[in-house]
Structure 1
Amino acid sequence: MPVWVLVIARAVNRLGAFTLPFLGIVLTVELGASLAEAGFVVTLFGLATIPSRLLGGHLADRLGPKRTIVVGLVGCAVAQLWIALAGSLWSAVVAVVLLGLVFEIYEPPSQAVIADVTEPAARPAAYGLLGAAVAAGAVLAGILAAALSHGSLRWLFVADAVTCLACALLIAVALPRASTSLRQDGSRGGSGWRDRRLLLMLAAGTAFATLYMQLMVGLPLTLLDRDLPASAVGIVLAVSALTLIAAQPLQRAARVRDLDDFQAMAIGYLLLGIGLLGNGFATTLPGFLACTVIWSLGDLLLFSRTYTIVAALAPDKSRGRYMATYGLSWGIATTVAPVLGTQLLAAAGPTTLWTLCALVAFGLAGLQPALRLRLNPLTLRPSELGG
């Protein structure tokens, strides 16, 4: 039951998360910011999301996941309403920074709850289901954004605030209080920064996140380079989301379920690499869609198994902070990937970009046996469990 509550709440929350692409437009058109000023404000938002994840992990282990999730969602609603009502650029800047600081609080506690309430064998399917909820919400969010964007763009932020509050209410009412990794004696768990295994996962996760972000940054530019219409970008992203949803039963198939995490990760990276390599040579929309199905299946395995491994590495009372530390891989990738991708595209073209990305994915697949030896928590001494 707690997993389904989180899945439904995540879908509702993701349904409203369509405002960020319109933030720069609101800043420039409605609040008079220059393009440079708008870019700076959006950068501030991105930087603020990094401590946001750490705060979410810390609060999850001190207050409990349920309270932390509600705090983060209510904070997002307040910041979104502030942006919608802002009468000056400086007021909007403060609201955008606040939004960044609370934006990722939700993630570590929700991931920790799944680990708390599921058996290890069931975690890949549970994390995969959470990913499918995000994908489903993203598809519907695009439709909702298209409908609301015909009026004042500030209504988008009001709608996002409403979905955040609806999500917070659902968590407050339906998520059992017992779903918490809070220590009963109030003491702190282990520190993820002192666990070398977690840092190794952070390094590997950053490489994966950087590859994934290339799909968000480099793939749209590649489609345009191949003279495909801008609408092709939306079609590709929709097919990816639908693949993640439709392929969920694979997580429960016996052959996939019986794979250990590192075997599944190796297969995931191979699929990801094949799809990325295909991006470099595809010239038609059907070709790109075939590649999209392949790399999306790889993502399905990778998203579910990486969080399963991190949950297994974490001491029971430190899962929030472990998830938060691992989640920094996405903040790093979001900062690095756009620069790397655009520079490679400009200097060498799409074929080189995607060939190099594929080689990195194949290399990560080959590293999985070594990672198993270093990370498998069942082979480690209790003294190595962080803290």
Structure 2
Amino acid sequence: MAVIMQFAGNERGGWVRLLSVGEPLPRAVWWLIAARAVNRLGAFSLPFLTVLIAAQYAASAAVAGLVSAAFGLATVPSRLVGGRLSDRLGPRRTIVVGLAGCAVAQLGIAAANTLVVTVIFVVLLGLVFELYEPPSQALIADAVTAPARVRAYSLLNAALAAAGMGAGLIAASLGRWDLRWLFVADAVTCLICALVVQRVLPGDPPRAGRAPRQTHHVAPWRDSTLMALLVSGTLFALVYLQIMITLPLSMAHRGLRPADAGLLFTTSALTIVLGQPLLRFKPLVTLSTPAAFATGYTLLALGLAGYGAAHSLSGYSAPTAVWSLGDLVLMGRVYALVADLAPAHGTGRYMAVYGTSWGIAGILAPLAGTQLLQYTGAAMLWLSMSGACLTLALTQPFLARAVAARASLQAARASTVVNAEK
């Protein structure tokens, strides 16, 4: 934790200097990134939820998938409530409430001794799991200027990836002993993160108890461009959650240790962290947003296609590095697009609505993944996900151009109004 605190506070050293090229980021953003990184250290319990249910209660893969789908369904209102609470309670209070609720639910899953009790705590976890995401993302978007948003979100993802290296090792070691300890570790890091946020982030505004008037005019569900981003984001989340949820089952299906998926998660995190210098190369610095989307999703497609042919732990490693490079290129770009779309005082709600893509995918991913795995095999599962990524590589650049065109139009209108007032 001390290393992460130094990472947050020292903007002139090491990786921080590398990632903070450009305007300085506010101290609140650094502390939030550090707190989320601490939380990430224990955040590899969910990928093993289906394995825990199947092993602990002798449940089928289909039943385990249904429980995971129940979790995903519960996260949909969680994300929307998080956006509302951020407006009414303030971001700091909302983040603390969400993290504390996650800790209670994780400990409940670890202590449960029946499938019914486990399902109750899984649903509770889903209901609080996304509360802290909208205020976290809105805090970053509102604290920095538009040109710095991609870098700020990329820094957040890089810090999470760095913490993910330790998380993968924790998952691999504790998972060999008892999968329940993964949920205990996750609960502890949630509480530490909540404590850091409560102690170091700026207090919420005095009028946080009432939503500002401007938020009443925010109508994200009527924004057609945001809805298109939501559809594409759901497809991406569906693919990404297959890695998080179905990869351990897929490895078990091929006779490998499911806990060794933690080593692959560490490989992914290491690739993202060590790949950060690539972001300073001129070809990537000058890469347009549409081209970045096409490149990133193509690399994801290649990596997941490699999973389809892998039959050993070493065979999974190279494809993991490939799709992780794609993730590196994509980092922060979609959230920056959503922030650019959001009107004044509406960032939290726009982020919340877009974030429901993960809840929707959380329902579909375990059902689709377990069914594909059971009836078609691991190869078809990963080839299907590869095809979905190629679809995104073709369509996402058009959405990026639409957002850019709308932002230019809004800027031109604002300039016209200013000139008219003069």
Match of 1:300 among 328, 331, 353: 328
1:374 aligns with 2:402: yes
- CA–CA distance in structure 2, aligned partners of residues 154 and 97 of structure 1: 17
1:120 aligns with 2:149: no
Aligned counterpart, 1:327: 355
Q: Note the alpha carbon deviations across 1:252-308, whole angstroms, 9 max, x for none.
A: 444323333222111111211222233333455444322211111111222421111
Shift of 1:40: 6.4
Deviation at 1:92, TM superposition (A): 6.1
> TM-score if structure 2 supplies the norm length?
0.76
Shift of 1:214: 2.8
CA distance in 2, matches of 1:331, 1:301: 24
Shift in CA distance, 22/272, structure 1 to aligned 2, threshold 3 Å: closer
Counterpart CA distance in 1 for 2:283 and 2:50 is 46
1:170, distance to aligned residue in structure 2 (A): 1.0
Distance in 2, Cα, partners of 1:158 & 1:219: 22
Q: Residue in 1 aligned with 2:157?
A: 131
- The offset of 1:10, in angstroms, is 0.8
Q: How large is the RMSD of aligned CA atoms in angstroms?
A: 3.8
State how many pairs are aligned. Answer: 383
Amino acid aligned to 1:195: D
Q: Per the alignment, do residues 346 and 374 of structure 1 end up closer, same or farther by CA in structure 2, a change over 3 Å counting? A: same
Q: Cα 1:320–1:204, aligned 2, differ >3 Å: closer, same or farther?
A: same
Secondary structure, counterpart of 2:142 in structure 1: helix
Alpha-carbon separation, structure 1, partners of 2:111 and 2:375? 43
Between 1:102-111 and 1:218-227, the stretch displaced more is 218-227
Is the 1:44–1:97 Cα contact (8 Å) retained in structure 2? yes
Tell me the CA shift for residue 81 of structure 1: 4.8
- With over 3 angstroms needed to count, the CA separation of the structure-2 counterparts of 1:261 and 1:225, relative to structure 1, is same
Q: Which residue of 2 aligns with 1:58?
A: 84
The aligned counterpart of 2:128 is 102
1:28-107 alignment runs, 5 A limit: 35=59, 43-81=69-107, 94-107=120-133
Deviation larger for 238-247 or 207-216: 207-216
The amino acid across from 1:278 in the alignment is G
User: How far is 1:163 from its partner?
Assistant: 2.4
Distance in 2 (alpha carbons) for counterparts of 1:79 and 1:120: 36
User: What CA deviation, in whole Å up to 9, does each residue of 1:51-105 have, x standing for no partner?
Assistant: 1111111112233222211121222234445556779887766544333211111
Percent identical: 50
Asked whether the equivalents of residues 57 and 320 of structure 1 are also in contact (C-alpha less than 8 Å), the reply is: yes
- Which amino acid in 1 is paired with 2:298? L
> Are the equivalent residues in 1 in contact too, given 2:109–2:183 (CA < 8 A)?
yes
Q: Structure 1 residues 320 and 196, CA, compared in 2 at 3 Å: closer, same or farther?
A: same
One-letter amino acid of the counterpart of residue 319, structure 1: T
Q: In the alignment, which residue of structure 2 is the partner of 1:337?
A: 365
Residues in 1 aligned to 2:206 and 2:340: alpha-carbon distance in whole angstroms: 16
Name the stretch that deviates more: 100-109 or 255-264: 255-264
2:213 partner SS: coil
Q: Cα 1:106–1:246, aligned 2, differ >3 Å: closer, same or farther?
A: same
Question: Measured at CA, do residues 342 and 263 of structure 1 come closer, stay the same or move farther in structure 2, by a change above 3 Å?
Answer: same
Structure-2 separation of matches of 1:115 and 1:370: 23
Q: Which residues of structure 1 form unaligned runs of 5+? A: none
Q: Identify which of 305, 316, 325 aligns with 1:288.
A: 316
- In structure 1, the residue matched to 2:189 is 163
TM-score by length of 1: 0.82
Q: Cα gap change, 1:101/1:223 in structure 2, threshold over 3 Å: closer, same or farther?
A: closer
The change in CA–CA distance for 1:251 and 1:184 in structure 2 (over 3 A counts) is farther
Query: CA contact under 8 A between 2:234 and 2:358: conserved in structure 1?
Result: yes
Counterpart AA for 2:350: Y
Matched letter for residue 135 of structure 1: A
Moved more, 40-49 or 86-95: 86-95
Letter in 1 for 2:332: S
What secondary structure is seen at the aligned counterpart in 2 of 1:317? coil
Task: Tell me by how many angstroms 1:197 deviates.
Answer: 0.9
Question: Unpaired runs of 5+ in structure 2?
Answer: 1-26, 414-422
